[in-house]
Amino acid sequence: MKPKKLKKRIQQLENRLREGSEKLARLRRKLQQTETAKALKAARKSAARTTASAGKKPSSAKKPKRKLNLSPERRAQLAAAMKARWAAKRAADGSNTTSTDQNSPMPPPQPPENRADGV
């Protein structure tokens, strides 16, 4: 190879190496900037979350209860079933409050019936 050609190739390689190192440095700076921006955003988000949760009232987050459209018979039936369930739970806990439930004027609860209309 001629010396002029060799000099030109060496110069091209040197330029490519210099540009490569500059490009590498530029990419590293960009990566560092994105990482710091991401960390700042996460810190801001967590701080906003803690202030938002501290400022909220717990009652405002609750949904209003739905009122069920029940017939009076079905309502009485469900009330009796729930009272029986609570009495059984109290008996299982070992509490002696079941004696008041035994003297109640309510008849013993009947299992709920499945009606065709779904009520």
Q: What string of DSSP letters covers 34-77?
A: HHHHHHHHHHHHHHHHHHHHHHS-TTTTSPPPPPP---HHHHHH
Taking the domains of the chain in order of start, what are their residue ranges?
1-49, 72-102
What pLDDT does 29 receive? 93
Return mean pLDDT, the chain: 82
CB 74 within 8 A of CB 119: yes
CB 97 within 8 A of CB 90: yes
What pLDDT does 98 receive? 46
Question: pLDDT at residue 70 above 70?
Answer: yes
Average pLDDT over residues 42-71: 80
CA–CA separation, 13 vs 1, rounded Å?
16
Average pLDDT over residues 91-118: 63
pLDDT band at 57 (very low <50, low <70, confident <90, very high): low
Average pLDDT over residues 2-26: 91
Does the global pTM surpass 0.85?
no
pLDDT band at 107 (very low <50, low <70, confident <90, very high): low
Question: pLDDT at residue 37 above 80?
Answer: yes
